[in-house]
Structure 1
Amino acid sequence: MATRLRWLAIVAVVLFGTAAIAQYPILDMVAGKVVQKYQGSSCEQLWQERAQKNGQPKSEREQQAVQMLHNDPQMRAAFIDKVAAPIANKLFECGMIP
Structure 2
Amino acid sequence: MIKHVMWFAMVPALLFATIAAAQQYPMLDSVANRLVQKYQQSSCEQLWQERAAKKGHPKPQGEQNAMEMLKNDPQMRAEFINRVAAPIANKMFECGMIP
SS at match of 1:51: helix
1:14, distance to aligned residue in structure 2 (A): 3.0
RMSD: 1.9
1:8, distance to aligned residue in structure 2 (A): 4.7
1:6-21 to 2 correspondences below 5 Å: 6=6, 8-21=9-22
Q: Which position in structure 2 is the counterpart of 1:52?
A: 53
CA distance in 2, matches of 1:42, 1:31: 19
Structure 2 unaligned runs (5+)? none
SS at match of 1:58: coil
Q: After superposition, what is the alpha-carbon deviation per residue over 1:5-56, rounded to whole angstroms, capped at 9, x for unaligned? A: 8255444333223211221111101111101111111000100111110111
Q: Which position in structure 1 is the counterpart of 2:44?
A: 43
The TM-score, its normalising length taken from structure 2, stands at: 0.86
Percent same amino acid among aligned pairs? 61
The TM-score, its normalising length taken from structure 1, stands at: 0.87
Give the AA of the match of 2:22.
I
CA distance in 2, matches of 1:41, 1:14: 30
